[in-house]
Chain A
Amino acid sequence: MRLKLVPSETTWDFFRFSKLALGGSALAVIASIVLFFVAGLNFGIDFRGGTTIRTEAHSAVDVAAYRDALQGLALGDISITEVFDPNFNADQHVTMVNVQAQDGQEAVTPDTITAIEAALEEVDPTITFPSVESVGPTVSGELVQTAILAVTLAIAAVLIYIWLRFEWQFSLGAVVALVHDVMLTIGVFSLFQIRFDLAIIAALLTIVGYSLNDTVVVFDRVRENLRKYKKRPLGEVLNLSINETLSRTVMTSVTTLIALIALFVLGGDVIRGFVFAMIWGVVVGTYSSVFVASAVLLRLGVTRDWSKSDSGPGGGSGGGTQFANVDA
């Protein structure tokens, strides 16, 4: 007896509510953009500059007392968040103290950190500082640029690769789906004000990779089926391809989610935001490869005048020739 998440043969019509899905996605993207401009992102020091100190104490944390102790230092914007994690011991009380970059200071000043540590030690003598991180404004500015560049480059590289391997319509469909995924992820981070730091950019790029993985598998089958059923309308071929690859799509998403959820629950608070981004990305990416990428492809249409020799568009070495033999 096999465990089957999806019946072995499905003939679901994925495009029946296509307009609704596309409309919903468009709305969600717009909402994300609005959120980004209205609420903004909770940038970590990587992008904003400043100092983050992780504190650990044996006695319960009184955030107000911490705040009062630091108020006297006139450091500007200070945020103190208590951190909870199932991995912590009963007497392990952790907070993250964020201090903004100090005006007019290019470099990181040790005096500020020493002053903060001394002030907190007065509140709670058992306090220790497992990590202290400072980033100056120059570097954080550059990190922002690098991050934007990285995401843009990744999307551009993918656009080109798919264009070479498939056709421009596929490429555009995939990229619309990618932009959709990245936007929605940023939207969620803005909505819940989860700390957005350098690791989240890594998560964004992984989402790009994952979502693409999914889209490409569907597209690969579409290409194959387009050759097999030369006369059937595109909508039918797309639907057939999605149905055929559905059990794989679900299977891979589920195993990936299992791994990520294990990491989310057990992996500690340091990378929780990072893992959250990826979980969200896997869910959105799976959805978008069917309901966004394929739907866009359906609307763009495909040129189906491939030469009989079947050398494959853009010189795809593997697929073309093999399937030609099978058809013959």
Chain B
Amino acid sequence: MLNISLWNRIVIWGIVALGLAFAAPNLFYPRVERHNDAAAAIEAGLAEEGAQADLAAWPSFLPSTLVNLGLDLRGGAHLLAQVQVEDVYEARMDALWPSVRDALREQRDTVGTIRRQDSPPGELHVRISQPEGMTAALGAVRALSQPVSSLTGVGASTLDVRAEGDTLIVTLSQAERAATDDRTMRQSVEIVRRRVDEVGTREPTIQRQGEDRVLIQVPGIGSAEELKRLIGTTARLTFHPVTGRGGAGLQPQSREIVLPDIEETGVFYRLEQTPVLSGEDLSDAQPGFNQNGQPTVNFTLTTSGARAFCQYSQNNVGAPFAIVLDEEVISAPTIREAICGGSGQISGNFTVESSTELAVLLRAGALPAEMIFLEERTIGPELGADSIAAGEVAAVVAGVVVLLFMGLSYGLFGLFANIALILNVVLIFGLLSLIGATLTLPGIAGIVLTIGMAVDANVLIFERIREELKTAKGPARAIELGYERARSAIYDANVTTFITALILFMMGSGPVRGFAITLGLGIVTSVFTALFVTRLLIVMWFERRRPKTIEV
């Protein structure tokens, strides 16, 4: 008959209790949030005054994970950036040129003189004066190629080398491009993460998306603009020897570049292409002030960087050098004496903010490639708060009306369904907290929709029990048959809805995905509460009362 074993009962109540425990922190959102922040601060040894009080505000034996609020509820900025991975090919080719030159020089007898030609980005063109020596030249350059170090590129080598007339063309091979792209992406994500972490906002999302994109979501930041300034700058810092200064007509010699001054328009510098130092040689950067009280960026060099700079400055006392940031000269001081202390100061036309910003960027490191932004969204915190408030009101009203309606329609059984409905919402929040899912505005809509639809499984069962009461022998049998026969409809109906939620989850992003999550979880919890919780409630009531007739 209506038997549910003790074990089953314990498991059912256990799951409900767990759901309650995990959902509970969300009722005290600000308090638990402060507790978590305080706990994290103490962990990191950065505890401020009051941290202990905040920590004590929520008992530590209770779960303290909260439902993450999406950007549309909390406010913040969202960016979708595309990393220009091809930029790296160009840098790779430039770096390869010296070795190609050396390899070909060794073959001078057969290939003659060599000269680097202008080429499309990502290709290295070398003209040799004796085309009949091309085979030897190809061989020499191919010898520079190495096996690709990636899982997919096994057996491939890094370089494609071919000849076109008297010109030797070197490009990265397909496999090496893929491996390079992957590395570039991982570096970009890492550096974006470091930069965002530097400003210390809560729970940023930094994710690689597809081949060459990065999704960045930072709650609590003022605007997408601000975020873009932080992560959109390449921040490639280099120190070059200066070979000349002049106006717009300045022409670079071989292996030189001409870059503009950041402040004075129309002023250009001619620099040696190979830098003395680059951003990688920096171990730290901090904002500071010089003796005139102007904001500066103070930096410390790594040991090898300090040694290189010491040597260079010793040999070039009296000569100017340029500090270049992202293809612009920010200052070009003259070396007065050997600089061997391993630290220095960059002064330019900084404000306090811009020097702080530059210090952050230099500490985090340069991006390997430029990023362009395909999508940006800023949501103000007030709008998010309004949405939460409106969502809460709507959910409460929807809940109360549905509860009343169920009570009126099914009497005592409606009450059981109502308990299940409330537990259902609690379980959704418990699950959302447990898996660390993000609640969005459409997600709230999903919960409200679930409130409406969750009763469906119970309605199916109750209607079935009503039907069975007409034919079955006694109420117990009718209840049992009602559950048994409604089950296949419940499964089929919910599996199909779950499929659509799953597809939505896989295809959607951001808010839409939040909706898919609450819809999907709502289906799971509503089937659970209908098939187990209401059933257990009904059985417990039945065992106690043993009614001869029941009315559903």
Contacts and interface: CB of A to CB of B under 8 A. Distances in A.
Interface stretch (A17-25, A31-39, A147-155, A293-301): A147-155
Contacts of A224: 485
A8 B466 contact: yes
Given A130-B383, A209-B499, 18 more contacts: A106-B374, A107-B373, A130-B382, A131-B380, A139-B374, A147-B507, A149-B507, A153-B507, A154-B504, A199-B511, A206-B500, A206-B504, A212-B496, A251-B459, A255-B452, A259-B398, A259-B448, A278-B445
Interface string A313-328: 0001011001100000
Interface string B368-390: 00001111111110110011011
Contacts of B488: 220, 316, 318-319, 322
B452 A256 contact: yes
B14 to A, nearest CB: 26
Given A2-B408, A131-B380, A220-B489, A108 B484 contact: no
A208 B494 CA distance: 12
5 contacts: A3-B405, A220-B489, A254-B405, A258-B398, A268-B386
B80 interface: yes
A87 B463 CA distance: 38
Interface in A176-221: 198-199, 201-202, 205-206, 208-210, 212-214, 216-217, 219-221
Contact of B499 (A5, A130, A157, A260): A157
Interface of B: 72, 80, 82, 223-225, 228, 372-380, 382-383, 386-387, 389-391, 393-395, 397-398, 401-402, 405-406, 408-411, 441-442, 444-445, 448-449, 451-453, 455-456, 459-460, 463, 466-467, 484-485, 487-489, 491-497, 499-501, 503-504, 507-508, 511-512, 515-516, 519, 551
B394 A150 contact: no
Closest 4 CB pairs of A and B: A259-B452, A268-B390, A256-B452, A262-B398
Contacts of A2: 408-411, 551
Interface of A: 2-5, 8, 54, 87, 106-108, 110, 113-114, 128-136, 138-139, 146-147, 149-150, 153-154, 157-158, 161-162, 165, 198-199, 201-202, 205-206, 208-210, 212-214, 216-217, 219-221, 224, 244-245, 247-248, 251-252, 254-260, 262-263, 265-268, 270-271, 274-275, 278, 316, 318-319, 322-323
Given A108-B373, A132-B224, A213-B493, A199 B503 contact: no
Given A107-B373, A252-B453, A4 B409 contact: yes
B402 A157 contact: no
A271 B223 CA distance: 22
Given A162-B496, A251-B409, A266 B449 contact: no
Contact of A318 (B383, B406, B466, B491): B491
Contacts of A247: 463
A21 B512 CA distance: 34
A251 B463 contact: yes
Given A202-B508, A208-B500, A3 B408 contact: yes
Given A130-B379, A255-B402, A266 B397 contact: yes
Contacts of A267: 390-391, 394, 444-445, 448
Contacts of A274: 442, 445
A266 B393 contact: yes
A224 B228 CA distance: 61
B377 A132 contact: yes
Contacts of A252: 453, 455-456, 459
Contacts, number: 241
B496 A205 contact: no
Given A108-B375, A205-B503, A257-B452, A217 B489 contact: yes
B417 to A, nearest CB: 10
A110 B228 contact: yes
A259 B402 contact: yes
Contacts of A318: 487-488, 491
Contacts of A213: 453, 456, 493-494, 496-497
B521 to A, nearest CB: 14
A265 B401 CA distance: 14
Contacts of A129: 378, 380
B234 to A, nearest CB: 15
Contacts of A219: 492
Given A217-B460, A322-B485, A209 B497 contact: yes
Contacts of A108: 373-376
A168 to B, nearest CB: 16
B463 A106 contact: no
Contacts of B496: 158, 161-162, 209, 212-213, 216
A216 B492 contact: yes
A202 B499 CA distance: 13
Given A87-B390, A217-B460, A150 B485 contact: no
A150 B449 contact: no
Contact of A157 (B228, B489, B503, B508): B503
Contact of A260 (B379, B389, B449, B463): B449
Contact of B394 (A114, A133, A262): A262
A323 B488 CA distance: 11
A202 B515 contact: yes
A328 to B, nearest CB: 15
B410 to A, nearest CB: 7
Contacts of B452: 255-260
A268 B385 CA distance: 11
A147 B406 CA distance: 36
B375 A139 contact: yes
B220 to A, nearest CB: 15
Given A199-B442, A270-B441, A259 B459 contact: no
Nearest to B411: A2
Contacts of A149: 507
A266 B399 CA distance: 13
Nearest to B481: A326
Contacts of B442: 199, 202, 271, 274
A307 B512 CA distance: 45
A4 B411 CA distance: 12
Contacts of A275: 445
B506 to A, nearest CB: 8
A278 B374 contact: no
Nearest to B519: A206
B409 A154 contact: no
A213 B498 CA distance: 10
B167 to A, nearest CB: 32
A92 B430 CA distance: 36
B449 A206 contact: yes
A322 B483 CA distance: 12
Contacts of B467: 244
B279 to A, nearest CB: 25
B375 A135 contact: yes
| Among A108, A135, A157, A265, residue most surrounded by chain B Cβ atoms (within 10 Å) | A108
Given A199-B442, A256-B453, A146 B503 contact: no
B500 A262 contact: no
B126 to A, nearest CB: 33
